[in-house]
């Protein structure tokens, strides 16, 4: 067993800054773990929905992001604020949208050789399924990028067979979520509790 060594995460990010380029913009922290723990920098210009065979944990280190997900055939969204965490259950189609200069940590279980995951694209107008790629991801930094670039480069794949809408060849750059006052949790007033 190697010695256990703690390190400064922001120093590690600085040493690997060159690796955080769109469209995915991620870098795996440890290669020799049962987990895939990766740092992801925005903007991530993606519109695919990831369908993972295991749970994923999202933690926002810096800035706020929006996580779109499909529920009951309809698009939903959840803002994850700086310092916030979110658990995405296995098999939930989800699409992270990180604005520029945001930083997040995502932790998921490393895939076994027999496990696959999917990238699914939905029409931005009617939510119909446009395209799906199911694969075993051996190198998350390269395999996802290849699938995304193939979709973006094909007008046929980007055209909705239900409503005819053609998605642009480049996804929009994510914008910061609308600011909301932070929710403050406080104990109930004693006079109101009976």
Helical segments of the chain, H only:
9-15, 140-152, 155-158
* Residue-wise pLDDT tens digits, 83-133: 999 999 999 999 999 999 999 999 999 888 888 999 999 999 999 999 999
- Other residues' Cβ atoms within 10 Å of the Cβ of residue 87: 9
- Encoded tokens for 28: 């795996």
Mean pLDDT (the chain) is 88
Q: How far is residue 123's CA from residue 89's CA, in Å, rounded to a whole number?
A: 23
What tokens were used for 107?
């932790």
pLDDT tens-digit series, residues 142-181: 777 888 899 999 999 999 999 999 999 988 888 899 865 4
Res 145: pLDDT = 81
In order, the DSSP letters of 96-150 are: EE--TT-EEEEEEEPPPTT--EEEEEE-TTT--EEEEEEE--S-HHHHHHHHHHH
Structure-token pair, residue 43: 């903007």
pLDDT at 96: 93
pLDDT score recorded for residue 24: 63
Per-residue pLDDT at 182 exceeds 60: no
* 144-167 as b/e: b if 16+ CB within 10 A: bbebbeebbeeeeebebeeeeeeb
Q: What percent of the chain has pLDDT over 90?
A: 63
pLDDT confidence tier of residue 141, bands split at 50, 70 and 90: low
Residue 58, token pair as written in the block = 């999202």
Higher pLDDT, 140 or 172: 172
Q: What pLDDT was estimated at residue 192?
A: 39
Sorting pLDDT into bands at 50, 70 and 90, what band is 18? confident
pTM here? 0.84
Q: In terms of pLDDT, which residue wins out, 20 or 125?
A: 125
- 32 vs 66, higher pLDDT: 66
C-alpha to C-alpha distance for 116 and 105, rounded to whole angstroms: 22
Q: Which residue has the tokens 């055209």?
A: 159
User: Does a cis peptide bond (omega within 30 degrees of 0) precede residue 69?
Assistant: no
Q: Residue 110: its pLDDT value, please? A: 87
* Burial environment of residue 7 by CB neighbours within 10 A (0 to 12, 13 to 18, 19 or more): exposed
Torsion on CA atoms 5, 33, 31, 145, rounded to nearest 10: -130
The CA angle 131-133-139, to the nearest 5 degrees, is: 145
């Amino acid at each position: 067993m190697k010695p256990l060594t703690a390190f400064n995460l922001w120093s590690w990010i600085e040493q690997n800054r060159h690796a955080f380029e769109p469209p995915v913009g991620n870098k795996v922290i440890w290669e020799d773990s049962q987990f895939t723990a990766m740092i992801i920098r925005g903007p991530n210009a993606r519109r695919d929905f990831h369908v993972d065979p295991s749970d994923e944990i999202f933690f926002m280190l810096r800035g706020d992001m929006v996580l779109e997900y499909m529920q009951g055939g309809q698009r939903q969204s959840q803002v994850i604020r700086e310092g916030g965490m979110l658990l995405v259950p296995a098999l939930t189609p989800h699409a992270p949208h990180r604005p520029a200069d945001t930083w997040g940590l995502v932790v998921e279980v490393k895939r076994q050789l027999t496990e696959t995951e999917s990238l699914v694209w939905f029409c931005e107008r009617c939510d119909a399924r446009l395209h799906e790629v199911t694969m075993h991801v051996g190198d998350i930094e390269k395999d996802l990028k290849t699938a995304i670039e193939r979709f973006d480069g094909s007008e046929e794949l980007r055209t909705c067979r239900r409503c005819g809408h053609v998605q642009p060849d480049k996804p929009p750059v994510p914008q910061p979520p609308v600011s909301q006052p932070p929710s403050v949790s406080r104990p109930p007033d004693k006079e109101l509790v009976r």
